[in-house]
Structure 1
Amino acid sequence: MLVLVFTSPDVQTLLTNVSMTSCDEDLYFVMVSVPATLSFSKRQDSERSVDGGGWLMFVQSMMTLALMFALGALVLLSVVLMRYMLRFEIIFLLGAFILEAITAVPVFLSVAVFGGMCFDRSWLQYPNYNHLSWAYALAVVAFFFHTLAAVMLLGEAFKARERRRRANNLIYNMQPRS
């Protein structure tokens, strides 16, 4: 990765401006003079505003939120899977259901917005040659899997509640030893 970064023509122009400067006898530091036109030019400012309008930032933020909620659900499910705190199994399952249901919403929003705006001419010069990649198809599949996981977690929470009710009834109905 570093080889690719340092073989870039922009970096080569930056490295011509590198000089070693001594501020003390034993301490050297590198001074790099970066022209302001490289990172703050009007050309790049217009490219930055065109490259991904507000909708692309919305898609990225929704997918980031979905990732955070999905990881939270995985943490709760790992606690249930380890059978660590069985007292709170129903609460953890309901929490995982809520997080998975919340995860499905931003994934759906990002898939819908990106699918609707990907052929827009404002951010892509030739949208006729654009096509939705496998990543978009996997995002659609991820939406369905998150929705299915939420429904299955809700069903599992109801089953866990029924198991707990039956276990309590079994304890109360046991005959004492005489």
Structure 2
Amino acid sequence: MNKFRLMVLPYAPEALEPVISFETIGFHHGKHLAAYVNNLNGLLEGSGFENSSLVDIVCKATGGLQNNAGQILNHEMYFGQFAGKPMKTEPTGPLAEAITRDFGSFKAFKDEFHKKGTTLFGSGWVWLSADKDGKLVITQEANAANPVQKGLKPLLTFDVWEHAYYLDYQNRRPDHLLSLWQIIDWSIIEKRYV
């Protein structure tokens, strides 16, 4: 059973250099994410989740099913938010207004997001999400967790697992997180918000 497939990147594997190298994309997308897809497909038969979406599996399953589905969902959002030359390098419209409303300024939002990313112990993700009323929140999610499990709508994420940055930044997680802002395409995040 091969229900889920490895996502096709919306850019060339070298398009995000120097922020994310061709080599890191090869390992992170081509090996790590591919393994999660293969693992999940191998666990589906007889699980009761054969016809479920990734979100349903993440929210309702446990153990290996949930972990592999979570990693696929997280990585698809992560890889899908980048562009080598972003159409927009800062948010505008309703998302920009919500960021100012909920964090005070775009800079204050980036500072808090960076702090949450650098202080998450171990492996996981830092997320910008919206609640059911459109209020923005930043959360730290360990391992394969996703804000959808808390009833939130995920918008933006930075992967803080070491495999996301170690080839390019070694143990300098803060430098990696700072550099990611250069390749966020805010037009994608705005579409997720509305």
TM-score normalised over the length of structure 2: 0.24
Question: Which of 1 and 2 has higher RCO (CA within 8 Å, sep 6+)?
Answer: 2
In terms of fraction of residues, the more helix-rich structure is: 1
Please identify which structure carries the higher strand content. Answer: 2
Could you tell me the TM-score, scaled by structure 1's length? Answer: 0.26
